[in-house]
Structure 1
């Protein structure tokens, strides 16, 4: 038996494609994705388990159980989608997905009595954002309210769990910290993306420390992939301002991250954890006392260029040696700072082959 889930040419299609990448033998056409029912069930149950293991940070900076981001206007259509599958409103995401998985054999019958509902804003942030229209100088707000199948909403919920790397703070509003969600999507229905659950388990509740510079993000992700044995050479990374009662949704940024050369580099495999720790400092929005003159950013940029073949290994070794001995000779340098630069020197020397 197969289950066909239509696509609507909205942001939520990314979640469906991600779910298809986890399910075996899924096939995409121009306007839908076709799933094998058992493969779809297994993918949904995997997403259900992941939702129990991961946390989400709310507007006040508190860790809470993973919950799909919604505005007030989303609650009615979301609950209508749940009712189609006899799932009570307010159920945890893990329960929603496990009950949805159990109902797969009955989908055709259930859908015959269910109407389409308005897609939640998280699935169509592009319909809410302020955009510039060619020929107009003023900003307009799109009013499109796409109607989607209840199956699309619950399948997207699973894709949301499978793609959310975590949240990062971007500022404050009304005294509360505002976070953006960081999402990793496959380029297309790609079976290698099926290893994403292992990567998410490795990230745990900490998530991603930041998204820039992209070189540091690539190094950090490659290190986590090697540690979790989840090797995915290309990912589309989006940062999304998720809808809340006080915030409309918006796609803030998107970038293609390619880590194939890093994952295949034997030298990087040996020192990936140390390199990943330096890249994490480069990604963090909080300055660190040992990270003088943006060393972590400079080192990550140069390491990525060396591993990509555009810079020579000796340049990385020179940078690391210069900074290490400068800190070592400094009378005010703490032991942890000297140790940090020694770590960078070790990375450079291993890449150089020493």
Structure 2
């Protein structure tokens, strides 16, 4: 009798243990035997992180989408410089619309639900978006360099057609590099994308390609931007001194103050551009070991770089008066739906 009771009690405890394991242990795809274990991170810290990163993603999409609508809709903004800003906004929009949400999903849930093909395509999409943003920054720097150093011939040297061609070439190079990256990292092929178990997508970055990425996406762009903006700043200071020399006297103090303000503004813009770019890419450039997408280092460095897509529209658009005017027309008064709204003068109140 006692043995029977003990047996029944032991069986009950085993059933309870099995039941608890079924609750706590989850799988990405329960119907597949080779499925990975599912790790859902639902602690307070992860919930807070999820909310913050989601807000960053929404902010990135909203601000870049607003910038794209402004430049595309208002004919007055159809200039070579604004086309480059539009290219930058498109690249940053892709980061906020696709790259950030996927990374948020992987951060909260360890499973990959998008399949083998998407596991292979995602690195390409990621690379194209990030490199498109970086090379748009370079094109903007080149455009401003020509405008400052050769203002009289700027309109002939920089045209809409040439700008569009340079944008196409930049995006083509980004796409080509992404395919080369996938080709030489053969573990990203569809047949080998999911490693270990079903429901896992791991991206391995070899040390050699880490060095190449640092050279192409940090050292080279940063060097070009530093040199160009240094020349721009030097020319701006020289022009400001010339203006001050001409406008000496009590009757021209206002013009001298304007020139000093322009010089300070140029210095401030240079500092913001360089600081944000360095702050976002320096941590990635300092990583000297082979890393994977599952590592904490990869996650932290990736999100620091993604933040650059949130800051770019702030640096290159919000400080422009025409952007504030276009936002007023689009959001505040909803006058963008007026048939003749594309021909509104966005500069009448600011210049």
What TM-score do the two structures reach when normalised by structure 1?
A: 0.26
What TM-score do the two structures reach when normalised by structure 2?
A: 0.26
Larger radius of gyration: 2
More strand by share: 1
